[in-house]
Chains A and B, each alone.
Chain A
């Protein structure tokens, strides 16, 4: 569904992404992991067209996404830091987003109800806590029932109760029609939510494959340990 071919991006002198090749297929759920500053968010922002890559091809369902925008109708995005116009009310934002995405969507308001966002629809964003903004952001990502969901550290800042709601929502939505791309630093969470893993380090791909394969080849039962074992076994070699 999304193919990344030779993606290269430099911020000043820093190589954020270096010659990256990746495929994201429909019906699968991907964990994008790596240390801080390894290029996870840059990859996601490139796919969304927020970051303009220096080189390489990005395609969504066979057509290039560079300088295009229609493909974003298929994407629901939850950014790492939920930022909204401060003086806007929650309800106003929801109405605005619906207005800005004209067309026929099946509106999925499950999270709006689960997080009881209707109760705070009269509150302005500057009065909201980081976690509450994160809830609005999650509800917004799922609102238009998009086939591709890109969640950048979705559970960071959420309370345990809200995390469980989000996790079960993701589990329920994992159908053969949808593609999930999730970054997180919590390995146990990714084990629950994803089936594939892409490991990035300093903008380079170190591993891409299914979590099961990684576990069986390293003879580890947990994702975190399997990653560590994989890294120790092949310190600098790139595996695809």
Chain B
């Protein structure tokens, strides 16, 4: 596994995209802190980067990389190497490379320029979101043989979790506004990793007062260490479950 993973990481490093992505994140993070004198506000601006750009890049890059390394995978599979090893090396190498890019591009500036506050949660959420979207990308890439369709599917996943799902959630809240919905919405956010990450960070930014009664309820839940643990576990589940689904597809795939 390490042997195969090493070659995939080497291959990823030859690809300049990861370096460019790290650089872009670094420039954006540092410039946000230099534009705003209040590190709290800069952190809030960075939130959008973490919630929108990081998942988008993670899912699209992983899908494109997977399709482009099809020859490499075919070559590996005709060698005495376990299919499982090839697949999980790909997953681990991509998760590690994109996670490292996030840590250097966003984590490091945050730790230096705004230690404390929501920083720890932001890094945790960004890292977990990266892995969630890497694993969703494998599902998309293994659902079709066509590269364009695969990329289309990843964009659909991204739109679904960033926009469509929230619209659907708002509709439910609006339609059933006469009923107490706190627990229902809490359960429904568990079905969207982006929402989980967003709420986790927002509550640490002490702006939950803006969110009214629900905000207070959320604060109660997410504010406790137990709530943070639950969110962490849910996000890890969101990263692991799609990988297992993708492995089922890959193990039966005709190369």
A residues adjacent to B (C-beta < 8 A): 11, 45, 48-52, 69-73, 75, 77, 79, 83-88, 96-97, 99-102
Q: How far is the CA of A89 from the CA of B31 in the complex (A)?
A: 39
Residue from B3, B71, B81, B255 within 8 A of A45 (CB atoms): B255
Stretch at the interface among B20-28, B72-80, B227-235: B72-80
Instruction: State the 4 A-B residue pairs at the shortest beta-carbon distance, nearest first.
Output: A83-B71, A72-B80, A50-B255, A73-B80
Q: What are 12 of the A-B contact pairs (CB < 8 Å)?
A: A45-B254, A50-B74, A50-B78, A51-B254, A52-B252, A69-B83, A72-B80, A79-B78, A84-B75, A85-B11, A85-B72, A101-B79
Interface digits, B2-29 against A, CB 8 Å rule (1 contact, 0 not)? 0110010001001100000000000000
The answer to whether residues A72 and B4 also contact, given A52-B252, A83-B71, A85-B72 and a CB cut-off of 8 A, is no
- In angstroms, how far is the closest chain B Cβ from the Cβ of A203? 15
Q: How far is the CA of A77 from the CA of B75 in the complex (A)?
A: 10
The answer to whether residues A69 and B80 also contact, given A83-B75, A84-B71, A100-B7 and a CB cut-off of 8 A, is yes
Interface digits, B230-255 against A, CB 8 Å rule (1 contact, 0 not)? 00000000000000000000001111
Q: Please, which residues of chain B bring their CB within 8 A of the CB of A97?
A: 79
Q: How far is the CA of A73 from the CA of B252 in the complex (A)?
A: 22
Q: Please, which residues of chain B bring their CB within 8 A of the CB of A85?
A: 11, 69, 71-72, 75
How many of B's residues come within 8 Å of A, CB to CB?
Answer: 23
B residues adjacent to A (C-beta < 8 A): 3-4, 7, 11, 14-15, 69, 71-72, 74-83, 252-255
The answer to whether residues A96 and B79 also contact, given A45-B255, A52-B252, A85-B71 and a CB cut-off of 8 A, is no
The answer to whether residues A99 and B7 also contact, given A51-B254, A87-B14 and a CB cut-off of 8 A, is yes
Most buried by A among B77, B80, B82: B80
Q: Please, which residues of chain A bring their CB within 8 A of the CB of B253?
A: 52
**CB-based contact B76/A48 at 8 Å:** no
Q: How far is the CA of A114 from the CA of B252 in the complex (A)?
A: 39
Q: Please, which residues of chain A bring their CB within 8 A of the CB of B82?
A: 69
Q: How far is the CA of A96 from the CA of B14 in the complex (A)?
A: 15
- In angstroms, how far is the closest chain A Cβ from the Cβ of B188? 38
Q: Please, which residues of chain B bring their CB within 8 A of the CB of A69?
A: 80-83
Q: Please, which residues of chain B bring their CB within 8 A of the CB of A88?
A: 11
